[in-house]
Amino acid sequence: MPFTETGIPDLLVYEPRVFADSRGYFFESYNAGTFEQEGLRFPFVQDNQARSTYGVLRGLHFQLEPYAQTKLIRALEGRILDVVVDIRKGSPTYGKVFTIELSAENKKQLLVPKGFAHGYSVLSETAEVMYKCDNFYHKASEGGLIYNDPALNIDWGFDLKDAVVSDKDQVLPTLENCTHNFVYNS
């Protein structure tokens, strides 16, 4: 079973089948048929890739509807702590935080539905992160949550005094003060 539930509706962990041999390994990092067998169908239209060094913290970000993005995230190199917050109004897990270590070694992927704020912290010396999106970048629709919102109390895996955070992310709102248009569809 390649998909594992997380306790938050629609948020899934995907673990591809890895074929190891004396040369190394091979795996299908994405196969639409594998997802469709589970009733999952996303018109991924954009692949993103980011390289960061230890202590970098990106997020928590989202794009407002109608530019909201489903994301399928994995680490090509190194280790990250991937963090999402369910901000779909009406969701039974509204405001709930989920974290998971994604790494080149564990090859785990996180399927993040629309209506979640997403971020990650870099736990290795360097990390290369890649993620598929089912909607294009739309700068004017960008929103986010501040990474150190006391109400969320997120453990990013290192002391935040060492965190490397963009100026843009330093001034994001708390969940309480965040305006967005995400609604949970059960």
Ligand X SMILES: Cc1cn([C@H]2C[C@H](O)[C@@H](COP(=O)(O)OP(=O)(O)O[C@H]3O[C@H](C)C(=O)[C@H](O)[C@H]3O)O2)c(=O)[nH]c1=O
Residue number with the shortest CB distance to ligand X? 137
CA distances from 13 to 82, 112, 118, 126, 127 (A): 11, 9, 14, 23, 19
Of 10-18, 96-104, 116-124, 147-155, the segment contacting ligand X by CB under 6 A is: 116-124
Q: Among residues 172, 145, 186, 180, which one has the least CA distance to residue 66?
A: 180
User: In the annotation, is 180 catalytic?
Assistant: no
Selecting among 14, 120, 131, 147, the annotated active-site residue is 131
Is 53 a binding residue for ligand X by CB under 6 A? The answer is: no
Q: Which is nearer to ligand X, 59 or 91 (CB)?
A: 59
Residues 55-114 that bind ligand X (CB under 6 A): 58-59, 61
The continuous run of DSSP H or E covering 2 comes out as none
Q: Among residues 111, 94, 113, 179, which one has the least CA distance to residue 145?
A: 179
Nearest-angstrom CA–CA distance, 168 and 48: 19
Residues 131-160 that bind ligand X (CB under 6 A): 137
Strand order across the beta sheet in which 126-133 lies: 3-5, 12-14, 109-112, 71-77, 126-133, 46-53
Instruction: Find the shortest distance in angstroms from Cβ 25 to ligand X.
Output: 27
User: In the annotation, is 131 catalytic?
Assistant: yes
3-class DSSP state of 162: helix
Q: Which is nearer to ligand X, 24 or 149 (CB)?
A: 149
Is 118 a binding residue for ligand X by CB under 6 A? The answer is: yes
Q: Which is nearer to ligand X, 48 or 174 (CB)?
A: 48
| Strand partners of residue 18 | 27
Is 185 a binding residue for ligand X by CB under 6 A? The answer is: no
Instruction: Report, as residue numbers or ranges, the catalytic residues.
Output: 61, 131
Which residues in this chain contact ligand X in the complex, by CB under 6 A? 48, 50, 58-59, 61, 118-120, 137, 166
